[in-house]
Structure 1
Amino acid sequence: MIASILIGGSIFAYAGWTLVRHMKKSSKGMCASCSLSDNCHGSCSAKNLEEAVGGKRGSLS
């Protein structure tokens, strides 16, 4: 019984921690939350962001 409670508690704690971590990263923005943000220079320019999102917005192609 106690083992089940501990295992269940650890699962919910990990899920909560993962959710909080995801929310913090998503609030930073695309480049700030990237794991390469310390070593990446210039990949977050407007042109590269459009390519990462999927091209020009509003185009029909």
Structure 2
Amino acid sequence: MLVNFLIGGAIFGYAAWALVRFINKSKQGKCAACDIQKTCSSQSNCQTSVMKNKEI
């Protein structure tokens, strides 16, 4: 019984953490939350780099 509560708590805890992280990244804007932000020199460069990575 206790194991079920621990597993359920872990699942719901991870879901809450992922939701909070998603909301915080979406508040930052498109390029601020980009995974390759450090390598971008401008907004347009970041958009093309992300598109190229998604196609591969």
The interval holding the TM-score normalised by the smaller chain is 0.7 to 0.9
TM-score scaled to structure 1, two decimals? 0.70
Secondary structure, counterpart of 1:38 in structure 2? helix
Output the aligned Cα RMSD: 1.7
CA distance in 2, matches of 1:40, 1:31: 9
TM-score scaled to structure 2, two decimals? 0.75
Q: CA deviation at 1:30?
A: 0.1
- Identity among equivalent positions (%) equals 46
Alignment gaps of 5+ in structure 1: 53-61
Alignment gaps of 5+ in structure 2: 52-56
Pair 1:27-2:27 in alignment: yes
Q: CA deviation at 1:27?
A: 0.1
| 1:57 alignment partner in structure 2 | none
